[in-house]
Structure formats: structure tokens, C-alpha cells
Structure 1
Amino acid sequence: MKQTPSTPPRPDRNFDDLAERFSRTIYATARGQLRLQALQADFNDLNIPLAGSQVLDIGGGQGQFSLLLAQQGAHITLCDISAEMLTLATDQFAAAGLSLTSQQCALQDCARVFPQQYDVVLNHAVLEWLEQPLEALTLLAQRVKTGGWLSLMFYNLHGHQWRQLMNGRTHSPGSANPHLRDHGNAPQHPLDPDVVQQQLQQLGFELQRWRGIRCVHDHMHQKIRDRIGQPAVSAADLEFGLLEPYRRFGRYVHFLARKGEQA
């Protein structure tokens, strides 16, 4: 019996071709600034110690949030699959007069490249680009010290589906466009936060913070945002992003989880 050749797995997304575009369309925009504000607020609220801490930023891209932590005394090691992203991160740290240890590698290679464990591990807006996103949680967990912190931000299934419905895609709100997966910056593997939380618990982590990011901003009409002003929009997003059920409609979810003694 003739066997049909299996389709080779898709490689994980590399952003060499989009590095400069990300700088313009994400990090230099109101939504990008809101993301950084939300992440910083969570770290502040939970009093996560940063001075002298060892931080590993996996898939850290241009290092915007890592730079904020470095300015608070953290020692940053950053890796990314994209050489262009690493160049931008190195330039940013150099411009700020701060040191950065960087290495080009994929998330799946972190155990080999960084065998030690860290006080804080960051993984922001990475899982949704992986072909097997949930499998990566075990790899991330292994890099966190006992008592250490995992900061996990991922593209939210509920926010994605709600946005699709509001755009009239009632026939298939959970589907994604393969063309955007290959040529744009639209994530193609949104994750259910309840599933991610369950996986983290099984890996020995206790969830300390669940925030929805852009749960107000992205669902408010641009004319309304212009009328009330971005500061008011951001303040509402930061407030309601911590509340049920609104946090479930964020385009992104931020989890801060602490690794227990038995992990």
C-alpha cells in the first residue's frame, strides 16, 4: 500500500523581516505603550524584586520591557530567534548605557544555551507564534528557580474571537488567515487562558496575577478613543483589565506565576 508523504511541520515564525515594522506599528504606538504600562504595573503591584535579580527574556525581541527592568537594577539575558531583533535590543541597551547579554536561539534551545535557572523568566507574545505553543510551557518552567517568577504574556483566544465577531466574521470567529501568518504580524495560535493556567498549575506554579491587556482599547471605536483621549482609555484598560469578566476580552493576557517548592 502506497503511503502519502507526511507534511513537514511548519517552522516557528521568525521576525527578521518584520523587526523595523514592529518598531513602527507596535512599540511606538499607544497600544504598545499600554502593554508596557500594564506589565510594569503588575510587577510593581506584586513587589517582584528586581535589583540584582537574574532575568531571562526568552523571545525578547527588541527588549523594550527588559530595558525597563534593567533600569531597576535587573541583570538581563535576552534571546530571540531573530538576529535583526537582537540588533535592535543591543542598540537600545547601549543607548541607555546598560549591559545586555544576548544570544540568537529559539525557545526550544534555551535549556542547552542557558542551563542555569533564573529569578525571573519573561516570555511575552511568543507562544502564539509557535506551532506547538503549550509544549513550550514545560521548557519555560524549567528555567525558573524555585520561588522565582514566570511572566507570561500571550494572545488571548477570547479577545481574538470577540474581535472577529465585532468585525462581522460570525461564520468562523476562531479561524485565522494563513497569509497573515506568513506575511504579517497577526498571531495564528491564540490561547485559552484557562488552559494555560491549568498547565502552569500542573508544572508547580501558583498564578498571582491575571490581567487582560487591551480589553478596552481594542474594542472601543477609534472616534471614541480620539474624543476621550488616550490617557482615559489607558486608565480604563488598566483598571478593567484586572476585573472579571472584562479581562477575558483582552487581546493579550498577562500571567505572573510563582514557582512553588514542589515544582
Structure 2
Amino acid sequence: MSTKDTDTRPDRNFDDLAARFARTIYATPRGQLRLMALRADFADMNIALSDASVLDIGGGQGQFSLELAQQGAAVSLCDISAEMLQLARDQFAAQQLPLTVKQCALQDVAAEFPQPFDIVLNHAVLEWLEDPFAALPLLAERVKPGGWLSLMFYNLHGHQFRQLMNGRTHAPQSANPRLRDEGNAPQHPLDPDAIEQALNTLGFNVERWRGIRCVHDHMHQKIRDRIGQDAVNKADLEFGTLQPYRQFGRYVHFLARKQG
């Protein structure tokens, strides 16, 4: 798999979609399932949060880092979208929780946050970058020895399977051309095996590998309606950590620990 294709469009800025994301993604069953999966992984791995330093890179409106702050973590957040950052400020202020905010790209994060952190979050960012694999060393440098990288990315296998189920047998790896041209489809679905190998090279061990929406996205809406969202969520959380089902998640979540 090539670490960079010939597409040279710039990294995606979501200023134009901030309000829409708040309304149509994070308040939906898909968004709630994503948060459930992240909560489960942090709990299962017994990651200490009280007084932990957290850097949320490309954190948008900070849904999950807000939950870490509620458990005692000190959160810093950066994003290239001013609109997203304002939503994050508003959410933390509503909970009377402190938040350090910087408007910057992932490529500039070392200059803005030179110190390493106990936990670094990077969720649904890599697939929007022009060169995703070039970002991994930048993320790795911000993690303390013995610290954690929480990395969530758009999964190539889940994307391809979904495309096949939608009848796009001629080009299952590519995105919907209209959505891609409008900038609303991830530019680079990523192979989890290639990401894990790159993290290993950078001195990380992947301790948790979960597929998110490995059941939800491949189940017909009529069936989801019939059995209920709670049953769908339960199945997704259960099978998301198991092979081969985790390979079909729409997203993959890695919790990787940096060797001390």
C-alpha cells in the first residue's frame, strides 16, 4: 500500500461543516456508538485519567476529550477550524471545565505544544490529510514514554465492503465521486495493518484494536429498527474487538502504548 497517492488536495478544514457535524453526526446513533466504543476501550485498558495531561489533536468540538476532563484530565485541544474550536470552548465552559485551545494544523503542533503528554488523541483526522503516514511521527513525538496514543481512522476494509454492498463492484476502494469532489468524503481510507506496522516502527505497541460500526453500518435500517438501537450497539461493541469482525468496522480505534 502506498503511503501517499497522487491526490494533492489540501488537508480538510471543517469550518463550513461545524454546525452540521454537531447536529447530524455527534447527536446521531452513529456518533453515540463511537463515543461508547471509545469509553469502553479506555475503561478496559484501565487508563488513568485523574491529573493526566491530554492533547486532542484535530479535536474539533472535543466531545470525547470533554468526557476525559470530567474524569480529572487536563485537556489541551488544537484544530485548524475556528468554528470547531469555538464549539469546544462553549462545551467546556458549560461544564465549568478548563481547556487550553490553539488554532493550528497537526503539522504545527510541536511548535504550539512542545511538551509531551500522557495521552494524545487523534480521532477521524488521518484520512483527511494529504499524506496520512507523514503525520504518525508527529503524533508519536507528543506522547510521553509509557503514555498512550488513541488513534481512530477511517478503515479501508470497512469502506470497501460497504462500497461492494452498495453495488460499486468496479471501484470499491474509491469514494463516492460527488462526495469526494465536495470534500465530504475521507480522502484516504487506511489499512489498519499498515498503520499498526508504522506505529510499531515508532516504538508503540497496539494494546487495543477495535472496529467501530462493524455491525451497525452493514445492517439494513429496517432490521436496526426492528431489533432496536440498544441491541445493535451491544452487538457492535461485543464484536468490534473480535477477529474477523473488527476488520469491517467503518472506523478503527487503536489504543497504542509508547514503550518506556
What is the TM-score normalised by the length of structure 1?
A: 0.95
- For residues 3-26 of structure 1, what are the alpha-carbon distances to aligned partners after superposition, in whole Å with 9 as ceiling and x for unaligned? xxxx99421000000001111111
What is the TM-score normalised by the length of structure 2?
A: 0.96
Q: What amino acid is aligned across from residue 248 of structure 1 in structure 2?
A: Q
CA-CA distance at 1:185 after TM superposition: 2.9
Q: What amino acid is aligned across from residue 36 of structure 2 in structure 1?
A: Q
CA-CA distance at 1:97 after TM superposition: 1.2
In the alignment, the residues of structure 2 paired with residue 234 and residue 186 of structure 1 have an alpha-carbon distance, to the nearest angstrom, of 24
- For residues 209-261 of structure 1, what are the alpha-carbon distances to aligned partners after superposition, in whole Å with 9 as ceiling and x for unaligned? 00000000000000000000000000000000000000000000000000002
- For residues 13-72 of structure 1, what are the alpha-carbon distances to aligned partners after superposition, in whole Å with 9 as ceiling and x for unaligned? 000000011111110000000000000100000000000000000000010000000000
Q: What amino acid is aligned across from residue 106 of structure 2 in structure 1?
A: L
RMSD of aligned residue pairs (Cα, Å): 1.2
Aligned-residue identity in percent: 77
In the alignment, the residues of structure 1 paired with residue 178 and residue 222 of structure 2 have an alpha-carbon distance, to the nearest angstrom, of 29
Q: What amino acid is aligned across from residue 157 of structure 1 in structure 2?
A: L
Checking the alignment, whether the CA contact within 8 Å between 1:206 and 1:259 is kept in structure 2 is yes
Describe how 1:1-263 pairs up with structure 2 within 5 A: 9-261=8-260
Unaligned runs of 5+ in 2: 1-5
Checking the alignment, whether the CA contact within 8 Å between 2:7 and 2:130 is kept in structure 1 is no
In the alignment, the residues of structure 2 paired with residue 182 and residue 49 of structure 1 have an alpha-carbon distance, to the nearest angstrom, of 42
In the alignment, the residues of structure 1 paired with residue 105 and residue 94 of structure 2 have an alpha-carbon distance, to the nearest angstrom, of 26
- In the alignment of these two chains, the number of paired residues is 255
SS of equivalent residue, structure 2 residue 132: coil
In the alignment, the residues of structure 1 paired with residue 113 and residue 61 of structure 2 have an alpha-carbon distance, to the nearest angstrom, of 19
Checking the alignment, whether the CA contact within 8 Å between 2:130 and 2:187 is kept in structure 1 is no
- For residues 168-192 of structure 1, what are the alpha-carbon distances to aligned partners after superposition, in whole Å with 9 as ceiling and x for unaligned? 0000000124542352532121000
In the alignment, the residues of structure 2 paired with residue 164 and residue 92 of structure 1 have an alpha-carbon distance, to the nearest angstrom, of 35
- For residues 105-130 of structure 1, what are the alpha-carbon distances to aligned partners after superposition, in whole Å with 9 as ceiling and x for unaligned? 00000011111000000000000000
Match of 1:3 in 2: none
Deviates more, 1:245-254 or 1:185-194: 185-194
SS of equivalent residue, structure 1 residue 135: helix
In the alignment, the residues of structure 1 paired with residue 177 and residue 62 of structure 2 have an alpha-carbon distance, to the nearest angstrom, of 27
Checking the alignment, whether the CA contact within 8 Å between 1:150 and 1:256 is kept in structure 2 is yes
Q: What amino acid is aligned across from residue 152 of structure 2 in structure 1?
A: M
Checking the alignment, whether the CA contact within 8 Å between 1:177 and 1:188 is kept in structure 2 is no
SS of equivalent residue, structure 2 residue 133: coil
Q: What amino acid is aligned across from residue 110 of structure 1 in structure 2?
A: V
SS of equivalent residue, structure 1 residue 218: helix
In the alignment, the residues of structure 2 paired with residue 8 and residue 152 of structure 1 have an alpha-carbon distance, to the nearest angstrom, of 23
Q: Which has the larger radius of gyration?
A: 1
Unaligned runs of 5+ in 1: 1-6
